Amino acid sequence: MPKRSEEMPRELWTSLVFLWITCVPHSSTLPLASNQSRSLQLGRPAAAAAAVLPRSEPPHGGGGQRLLSRAKRGWVWNQMFVLEEFLGPDPILVGRLHTDTEVGGKNVKYVLSGEGAGTIFSINDRTGDIHAMKKLDREEKAEYTLTALVINRDTDEPLEPPSEFIIKVQDINDNPPQFLDGPYQASVPEMSTVGTSVTKVTATDADDPVYGNSARLVYSILQGQPYFSIDPNTATIGIALPGMDREIRDEYMVVIQAKDMGGHMGGLSGTTTVTVRLTDVNDNPPKFAKNFYDFIFSESLGLGKAGGRVKATDKDIGENAKSIYTIVAGNEKGVFEITTDSQTQEGVIVLKKPLDFETQKHYNLTVEATNVRYGPTGPFKDTTTVRIAVEDADEAPIFTRPVYMMDVKENAPINTVIGSVTARDPDSASSSIRYFIDRHTDLERQFNINADDGKITLAKPLDREADMWHNITITATEIRNQSQISRSRVAIRVLDINDNAPEFATEYEAFLCENGRPGQVIQTVSAVDKDDPIQGHYFEYRLAPEMLNNPNFTIKNNGDNSISVLAKHDTFRRQKQEMYFLPIVVTDNGNPPMSSTNTLTIRVCGCSRDGIVQSCNVEAYVLPIGLSMGALIAILACIILLLVIVVLFVTLRRHKNEPLIIKDDEDVRENIIRYDDEGGGEEDTEAFDIATLQNPDGLNGYLPRKDIKPDLQFMPRQGQHGGPNGVDVDEFINVRLHEADNDPTAPPYDSIQIYGYEGRGSIAGSLSSLETASSDSDQNYDYLREWGPRFRRLGELYSVGESDKET
């Protein structure tokens, strides 16, 4: 077997060994376990290896004595090889099986089993040759494990134990490298130095990495030079050109190739693309588009309002392109400020203090734009000049003071001048000013103002005790432009005068004990005054002139604007006088002084020994029987309640006995009584009796009238009697109608009878002139048909009666 030198490549040595195995005939004995040995017999053509079974050796010694010896048995192969992707007209010979065991003329048969036996691999059962029937792919399956067996063809008995062997598929370079993760995306900062790593790519080869160079890959750049380079072994892509500027070119397409066989000729290759983007760094300063910006600001521009915008552009992007704006010169008074619009990256000039055309007409500002992020050499910035011209605008009048304070006495007469306000037109063309009071702040119209000079006068009397302060709003407008209005607040304080007399602080009611001692304090009295003098209140108390010499009470000054009322003796009795009235005069210290007379009520009461009031009434002396006033009131209330109950009882009895029919002396008509009530049951004897209609036996019965006394005695006529079970209601009604027509005592009488009251003012006249069929007077009832449907039927009935009479 050839030996490998250190200078010989591994792939070349492997190829020589394979050729030596397949082409050089030799044999070798492989040691087996215990008493068995295996040998590999080579020298078979076409990569075939013959496996020879060991044969038995003749016994040593003589004398016919059998000597025991070790039998050499076993297969003489290790493994077999077959090339993948082999394309030929005939099956390829993989190897040959052979046994060196003495078969003794037995008919030997070789049998093959295991992976692919019979489908991929076949064996000649006589010679033991193994052939590959199909094209094999090592990338699908690299080796097959099979089992060889030698049997007696005649008896199928095994001549040797089965043994496994392996058929390995030998690799050829039939798979190109592949980039499974491509195409790739990568980024690197612009201006990166040479050698800066960008990214790393990886390719794979499905060929055998152990055998040959089929899977040894070498990387190279097909497109992307001279900007990028790649390490041929690690596939790391790096920067190859310095100064790559994103603002010039921000994206590159790099094509990478991977080639097997170590990059030698004949190797297979695969490619992928890498898109490299340069990320931005802050390497460009901001730049204003113009060196001068001109704006016009109206002096009426509101505070916080924007008047103009400036912008500095930056070739960078993202945060590197953001700038902040500042005013570095020309804004010493702080009239303007500049802010940055985060959306448009513009500098917005905003008014911070009011503009005055008459004071300053022009401003020159120096505005600076600075990058938010510093560049490699420090902050990038640029400056420009902003020229602002103030435009004159018609401004509202300006009051000399925002708030005016004025005083007026509460007794000031009408039209007294309280004070004045002043406003001026700040415009260069000064306009006259007119003044007005906002009546929403002076609803009672207590003040007036002169529209020309702003003098405020009194329109109504004032009372400090009712309202001490009055706050009104004054408006000032220009005569030429009344839309320009300004306002100022005027606070008017009403000054006090002594116009209110002092009076008791409350309604006092004092209590005096009968058993009190002389000089005891009955009540402490104090006073109040609605006025508010500057020096404070001081009250003087005295008894009314008519009470100076009274023998019962006196007063004492306490020195704190209050007095104490004292009793002069101890002989007060409720039987003599229960209540005393003491008038006291209170005078203040105003100019002029004011006074009032107030009356103190003093009640004489019964007290305990400790001076505690128990009773202030006189019932104990006027009721010797011992009944208190409360008991008498209770008794009187019970008596009154009993009287009320008796009166109610009598009233209800009288109301119950009144008749149901109330006759009015002035109403001579017969009233219609309604019976459509449910009645009082069996005990109701005043209900209408309909027994006549229900009792046929009462046909000839005479029922006397109760409302009048008849002049003629009417004798009932004999009528036909109907059986109890054969009542003819129609006949009964006709009989009753005939009796009514011939009964002089039956209605109508010589009185007005109203059977359908139409109300006052009805066009229907009275029916009292109508007569029954027994009347001898001739009447024409046709006019009843004109009265309506109610009387049309009545007229027809009487007309029929007249016609019957004529016949």
C-alpha 42, offset from chain centre: 92
Identify whether the C-beta of residue 268 lies closer than 8 Å to the C-beta of residue 176. yes
Whole-number pLDDT of residue 522: 87
Residue 496: count of CB within 10 angstroms of its CB? 19
Asked whether residue 729 is domain-assigned, the answer is no
Asked whether residue 549 is domain-assigned, the answer is yes
DSSP of 208-237, one letter per residue?
-SSSTTTT--EEEEEESTTTEEE-TTT-EE
What order do you get walking across the sheet with 562-567 strand by strand? Answer: 503-504, 521-528, 562-567, 553-557
Q: Please give, one letter per residue, the 3-state secondary structure of 682-741.
A: HHCCCCCCCHHHHCHHHCCCCCCCCCCCCCCCCCCCCCCCCCCCCCCHHHHHHHHHHHHH
Q: What are the strands, taking DSSP E only, across 357-400?
A: 362-371, 381-391, 398-399
HSE-up of residue 510 (Cα within 13 Å, Cβ side): 20
Q: At which of 495, 518, 552 does a domain end? A: 495
Identify whether the C-beta of residue 95 lies closer than 8 Å to the C-beta of residue 49. yes
Tokens of 491: 């606070």
Helix, strand or coil, per DSSP, at residue 572: coil
Closest CA to 522 of 588, 597, 574, 582: 582
Identify whether the C-beta of residue 531 lies closer than 8 Å to the C-beta of residue 588. yes
Q: At which of 249, 279, 309 does a domain end? A: 279
| CATH number of the CATH domain containing 118 | 2.60.40.60
Identify whether the C-beta of residue 345 lies closer than 8 Å to the C-beta of residue 323. yes
| Cis ω before 183 (30° cut-off from 0) | yes
User: CA-based Rg of the chain, rounded to a whole angstrom?
Assistant: 72
Is the pTM higher than 0.75? The answer reads no
Whole-angstrom distance, CA of residue 708 vs CA of residue 281:
134
The amino acid occupying position 795 is G
Identify whether the C-beta of residue 200 lies closer than 8 Å to the C-beta of residue 236. yes
Asked whether residue 700 is domain-assigned, the answer is no
Whole-number pLDDT of residue 745: 65
Whole-number pLDDT of residue 25: 38
What order do you get walking across the sheet with 79-83 strand by strand? Answer: 79-83, 163-170, 143-152, 108-114
| Cis ω before 286 (30° cut-off from 0) | no
The amino acid occupying position 637 is A
Q: Look up the domain containing 420 and give its range.
A: 398-495
Do 307 and 273 share a structural domain?
A: no
At 555, phi and psi to the nearest 5? -125, 155
Tokens of 144: 């097959």
Whole-angstrom distance, CA of residue 261 vs CA of residue 554:
141
Asked whether residue 678 is domain-assigned, the answer is no
Identify whether the C-beta of residue 660 lies closer than 8 Å to the C-beta of residue 686. yes
Whole-angstrom distance, CA of residue 444 vs CA of residue 435:
19
Q: Which ranges of the chain have pLDDT less than 70? A: 1-78, 88, 100-105, 374-378, 428-429, 618-628, 656-727, 744-779, 799-807
CB neighbour burial string for 177-199, b if at least 16 within 10 angstroms, e if fewer: bebeebebebebebbbeeeeebb
Tokens of 550: 């009274």
Whole-number pLDDT of residue 151: 85
Whole-number pLDDT of residue 441: 92
Whole-angstrom distance, CA of residue 391 vs CA of residue 478:
20
Domain count, the chain: 5
The amino acid occupying position 448 is N
Do 358 and 383 share a structural domain?
A: yes
Whole-number pLDDT of residue 519: 85
Do 155 and 218 share a structural domain?
A: no
Q: Which residue is listed with tokens 């990058």?
A: 371
Whole-number pLDDT of residue 480: 79
At residue 786's C-alpha, the angle toward residues 780 and 791, to 5°, is: 75
Closest CA to 235 of 289, 303, 181, 190: 181
Asked whether residue 429 is domain-assigned, the answer is yes
At residue 490's C-alpha, the angle toward residues 489 and 493, to 5°, is: 145
Identify whether the C-beta of residue 206 lies closer than 8 Å to the C-beta of residue 295. no
Do 145 and 89 share a structural domain?
A: yes
Whole-angstrom distance, CA of residue 640 vs CA of residue 632:
12
Do 365 and 337 share a structural domain?
A: yes
Asked whether the CA dihedral 514, 515, 519, 522 is positive or negative, the reply is negative
β-pairing, 336-340 vs 381-391, is: unpaired
431 exposure class (CB count in 10 Å sphere: 0-12, 13-18, 19+)? middle
Q: Please give, one letter per residue, the 3-state secondary structure of 88-142.
A: CCCCEEEEEECCCCCCCCCCEEEEEEECCECCCEEECCCCCEEEECCCCCCCCCC
Do 352 and 409 share a structural domain?
A: no
Do 377 and 307 share a structural domain?
A: yes
C-alpha 374, offset from chain centre: 45
Closest CA to 19 of 7, 2, 39: 2
Whole-number pLDDT of residue 319: 83
Do 461 and 428 share a structural domain?
A: yes
Identify whether the C-beta of residue 232 lies closer than 8 Å to the C-beta of residue 208. no
β-pairing, 398-399 vs 27-31, is: unpaired
Identify whether the C-beta of residue 580 lies closer than 8 Å to the C-beta of residue 602. yes
Asked whether residue 519 is domain-assigned, the answer is yes
Q: At which of 597, 614, 631 does a domain end? A: 614
Whole-angstrom distance, CA of residue 711 vs CA of residue 749:
12
Whole-number pLDDT of residue 347: 92
Q: Which residue is listed with tokens 């006068």?
A: 457
Tokens of 699: 């046909």
Whole-number pLDDT of residue 446: 93
Whole-number pLDDT of residue 283: 83
Asked whether residue 757 is domain-assigned, the answer is no
Whole-angstrom distance, CA of residue 347 vs CA of residue 322:
11
Residue 807: count of CB within 10 angstroms of its CB? 4
Do 183 and 272 share a structural domain?
A: yes
At 523, phi and psi to the nearest 5? -160, 140
Whole-number pLDDT of residue 761: 57
Q: Which residue is listed with tokens 């093959």?
A: 112
Please name the residues in contact with 65: beta carbons below 8 A apart, sequence gap of 6 or more.
Answer: none
Beta bridge partners, 476, equal 435, 486
Do 461 and 410 share a structural domain?
A: yes
Do 260 and 192 share a structural domain?
A: yes
Asked whether residue 184 is domain-assigned, the answer is yes
